[in-house]
Amino acid sequence: MPGLISPVDCLHLTIEIGGIPIRVNTTDADFLGMLQNRYAGFVGSSEGATIEFDVDLFTPSFVDPDTDLRVTQRAGKWALERGDFRAEWEPARRTGTIRQSANPYSIDAVLRIVHTLVLAQEGGFLLHAASAIRNGKAFLFAGVSGAGKTTISRLAPSDATLLTDEISYVRRDVRKDVGKQNHSYVAYGTPFTGELAKLGENVSAPISALYLLAQGPENRIDPVTPGQAVRELLANVLFFAEDQELVQRAFHAACEFVSRVPVSRLTFVPDARVWEMIG
Partner 1 sequence: MTRLYVARNTRAAARKLDREMMIMSGKDSTLFTLNKTATIIWQAADGATPLDEIVERQICPKFEVEPAAALQDAETLARELAAHGILDVSENPIISANSQPATSQANPPAGESR
Residues at the contact surface with partner 1, assessed by CB under 8 A: 225-227, 230-231, 234, 244, 247-248, 251-252, 255, 258-259
Comparing CB distances to partner 1, the nearer of 58 and 251 is: 251
In angstroms, what is the minimal distance from the CB of 154 to partner 1? Answer: 32
In angstroms, what is the minimal distance from the CB of 244 to partner 1? Answer: 6
Comparing CB distances to partner 1, the nearer of 121 and 225 is: 225
List, as one string, the DSSP characters of 219-272: -EEEE--HHHHHHHHHHHB---B--HHHHHHHHHHHHHHHHHS-EEEEEE-SSG
In angstroms, what is the minimal distance from the CB of 178 to partner 1? Answer: 19
Contacts of 149 (CB under 8 A, 6+ apart): 128, 129, 130, 141, 142, 143, 165, 166, 194, 213
Contacts of 6 (CB under 8 A, 6+ apart): none
DSSP lists the bridge partners of residue 35 as none
Comparing CB distances to partner 1, the nearer of 252 and 273 is: 252
In angstroms, what is the minimal distance from the CB of 227 to partner 1? Answer: 4
In the chain, helix, strand, coil percent, each to 5?
25, 35, 35
Query: How far apart are the C-alpha atoms of 72 and 69, rounded to whole Å?
Result: 10
Query: How far apart are the C-alpha atoms of 243 and 277, rounded to whole Å?
Result: 40
Comparing CB distances to partner 1, the nearer of 42 and 257 is: 257
Q: Are the CB atoms for 106 and 84 separated by under 8 Å?
A: yes
HSE (side-chain half, CA atoms, 13 Å) at 13:
22
Comparing CB distances to partner 1, the nearer of 97 and 228 is: 228
Comparing CB distances to partner 1, the nearer of 174 and 247 is: 247
In angstroms, what is the minimal distance from the CB of 248 to partner 1? Answer: 4
In angstroms, what is the minimal distance from the CB of 43 to partner 1? Answer: 36
